[in-house]
Chains A and B, each alone.
Chain A
Amino acid sequence: AQTVTQSQPEMSVQEAETVTLSCTYDTSESDYYLFWYKQPPSRQMILVIRQEAYKQQNATENRFSVNFQKAAKSFSLKISDSQLGDAAMYFCAYRSPTGANSKLTFGKGITLSVRP
């Protein structure tokens, strides 16, 4: 079974600075998808960014980018120019190859606080 590990339970960043959230995963599959979700205090789960394992290029969405290291099974999220609205819980997630029965496996999450 696949596992996703987020070893840092909490992190803090100064507003306008850059922060990197770590995630590692374990799988024997060669094709899969990785995601970062944001959960603000409202509880709503918001997709931040996704990465297809077959793509070598790291995904980028505005201030959010990932460092995907397939051989190391590492998938970190970098948030640039941090804003107060970035304060939230962030979850890393893995999905096995496409198909109706493929499911998301989540890490335990990391709480990010942003200092003004």
Chain B
Amino acid sequence: NAGVTQTPKFQVLKTGQSMTLQCAQDMNHNSMYWYRQDPGMGLRLIYYSASEGTTDKGEVPNGYNVSRLNKREFSLRLESAAPSQTSVYFCASRRTSGSKSYEQYFGPGTRLTVT
């Protein structure tokens, strides 16, 4: 059981380049999330998808786009990378059904550097 997987693990971009971070989960979870982690800032939500076919902005969405390709996959795109987007990016997923709150599972993270 792989859980939540992310590719790539590391990436270096030049300012203005574009790229897509991939995330997939094999737990049949409804909701998926993208966070960024910066020193001293904790994890901040970029975008989330409550269910297949829906996406919503989180706390820091500017400069990013997302696609919920299917139930398993949720990608994050940087159209024109900026040095301020240098960060560690985490994908997460969670089962959301009924009244119970289920644990959120995280991927291993992608360290992105924009020069």
Binding site for B on A (CB under 8 A): 4, 6, 9, 33, 42-45, 47, 50, 52, 91, 95, 97-104, 106-109
Given contacts A44-B106, A108-B40, whether A100 and B90 have CB atoms under 8 Å apart is: no
A45 touches B90 (CB 8 A): yes
B97, closest chain A residue (CB): A100
Q: Which of B50-58, B65-73, B79-87 contacts A (4 or more CB under 8 A)?
A: B50-58
A47, closest chain B residue (CB): B103
| Chain A residues, Cβ within 8 Å of B101 | 33, 52, 95, 97-98, 102
| Partner pick for B96 among A33, A100, A107, A108, CB 8 A cutoff | A100
| Chain B residues, Cβ within 8 Å of A91 | 42-43
* Interface status of B45 (Cβ within 8 A of chain A): yes
- Bound-state CA distance A109–B96 (Å) is 26
- Bound-state CA distance A102–B90 (Å) is 18
- Sample of 13 further A-B pairs with CB below 8 A, known A43-B109, A104-B45: A6-B42, A44-B106, A44-B108, A45-B106, A98-B98, A98-B100, A99-B96, A100-B30, A100-B50, A101-B50, A101-B56, A104-B33, A106-B43
B108, closest chain A residue (CB): A44
- Bound-state CA distance A103–B101 (Å) is 11
Given contacts A43-B108, A44-B108, A45-B106, whether A100 and B40 have CB atoms under 8 Å apart is: no
| Chain A residues, Cβ within 8 Å of B40 | 9, 108
